[in-house]
Amino acid sequence: MNDVPAASDGARALLGRLAPMRVRAFSSLDPLAKSVRKITSRWPDMVSAPADQDRETLALNMLHRVRTWSWDKITTQKVISAALAVFDDERRMRPDLEPVRSFYLAELETRGPGPFLDGMARVYLDSFVPGALHTHRLAEGLRKRAADLGGRYRRLVDTLPTLFQPEAAPRDLASVMVGAEHPYEALKSIGISSPHTSGLTRAAHKIFVERLAPDLARPDARAKLFNWLAPEAGPVLEVGAGAAIEAVLAVWKNRTPPDALRNELTERIIGCWNDPRLHAGGIWPGFDPDLKSILLRWLTHQDMKFFCDVVTATQPSHMWPPRRDFWLQLYDDGKIDEAWVAFDTDALQYARRHLVKTEGTDMSRRFGRQKDRGGKTSLLIMRIGNRIVVDGCHSYRTHIFRIDDRQAPKLYQREYHCDEIMRQSKVWKAHNSIENWSQWVHQNV
């Protein structure tokens, strides 16, 4: 073996002056990932859902293109917009559009990665219906192409591996919701851009409510449910909200919540979905009548208690406290079925300052106005069986009408005129003797 020549003194000196080798560390990718999340949150979809009035035109235009194999002047965005129309609940079963549905499914097998595949993943989420044929056909095509999806949908598949298994996906998505303090934000964070409107989340919503229902007496379970139904950074849920509110009310079917909780729930419900006494639409058609009656009882109690508190604060009179106690006891005895309030000017100002407010509550519809006598008399209008009973502050007499009397004042009106009610009443009594007056009320209702 040949000897290796020794390094010269100069070479050794040069090597000694060289800087030590350092491994260059890559900077954290967290800021980049955060920026991506911000962008996808602000602009969640390349294709916005087409307006209802445009959907038929889009679907028929795509049918024409498939039949004639004409693809000039069309973009991927328009192709996906048409897909959202073709697979929506109105058109997904139409026989004349079957060639278009078959076209999209065939394209799923052959189209390269990019906007088309991601767009079809959105179509699957939006149009998802448990057990539906179109859902299974879309799921089968997307399951084979899952590895080719873009970042948003790959993240969703990573969180929800059963995404393209229609029997399991709603159940597993509901588990994600149950496990989150803020379910709406949790679904957005995993890649579902419109948690309230996608067909998949609507299917998961039903399971989510069923799982929470036994625990809704607990504050944390109620908070989680309302964080989903009415999130701070999102819209109020409409479709499916009725069943959720039924579950909230069912907890109190055989017991009464504390006053503070009852008032909180009442204000939250009517603030988001309107007062069922004033609005016939929304979640209220088809709502369980027995459960709705619970809310109506709460509203009656709230309105009566609020009326009594306001009058006590604004109309000092030695005759009012016994009348207040009489009406509240009659409610506690289960005699008063409905109640509504019409405040005078001073009481109205007090009421607006002190009414428990929930964002979205229509303050102008929480009580009526009394317009006669310069707005100096507040009225309590009640239904007691088949009678309408009107009482007022100061020296205003109590008036009783049969409910079928055309002159009887109606509940839940915006304005009342106390002098007109007095003129139309045939059955009335002053309060100059509270004992005689209370006996008279009992006899006439």
Nearest CA among 124, 146, 253 for reference residue 200: 124
Q: Phi and psi dihedrals of 195, rounded to 5?
A: -60, -30
Report in angstroms the alpha-carbon separations of 159 from 192, 293, 421.
11, 41, 64
Distance of CA 301 to the CA centre of its chain: 25
The predicted pLDDT at position 381 comes to 96
Mean pLDDT by 10 residues, the chain (445 residues): 50 52 48 46 60 95 96 93 96 96 96 94 96 97 95 92 97 98 96 93 98 97 98 94 98 92 93 92 95 94 88 79 92 93 84 60 72 85 96 91 95 94 94 92 94
Is residue 360 a contact partner of residue 272, using CB atoms and an 8 Å limit?
A: yes
The predicted pLDDT at position 276 comes to 94
Instruction: State the Cα–Cα distance between residues 157 and 185, nearest whole angstrom.
Output: 17
The predicted pLDDT at position 13 comes to 56
β-pairing verdict for 398-402 and 415-416: unpaired
Instruction: State the Cα–Cα distance between residues 327 and 330, nearest whole angstrom.
Output: 5
Q: Where are the domains of the chain?
A: 47-165, 315-444
The predicted pLDDT at position 47 comes to 66
Beta carbons within 10 angstroms of residue 164's beta carbon: 22
CB-based contacts of 389, cutoff 8 Å, min separation 6: 381, 382, 383, 398, 399, 400, 401, 441, 445
CB-based contacts of 180, cutoff 8 Å, min separation 6: 186, 224
